[in-house]
Amino acid sequence: MRLALDILTVVLVSAGGFFFMAGTIGLLRFPDTLTRLHALTKVDNLGLGLIVFGLLPQVESRLDGLKLVAIWLLVQISGAIVSQLIAQATRRSGPRT
Partner 1 sequence: MTITSFLFTAAGFVLLMVALGLARILRGPTHADRILSVQLIGSGGVAVLLLLSVAAKFPPIMDVALMLGLLATFVSVAFLGDAADSSSAFTGTTEDQ
The site for partner 1 (CB under 8 A) is made up of: 6, 9-10, 13-14, 16-17, 20-21, 23-24, 27-28, 33, 36-37, 40-41, 44-45, 47-48, 51-52, 55, 58-61, 64, 67-68, 70-71, 74-75, 78-79, 81-83, 85-86, 89-90, 92-93, 96
60 DSSP 8-state letter: S
Say which DSSP state 50 is in: H
**Beta carbon of residue 29, minimum distance to partner 1 (angstroms, whole number):** 10
Q: For residues 93 and 43, is the Cβ–Cβ distance under 8 A?
A: no
* Contact yes or no for 92/84 (Cβ under 8 A): no
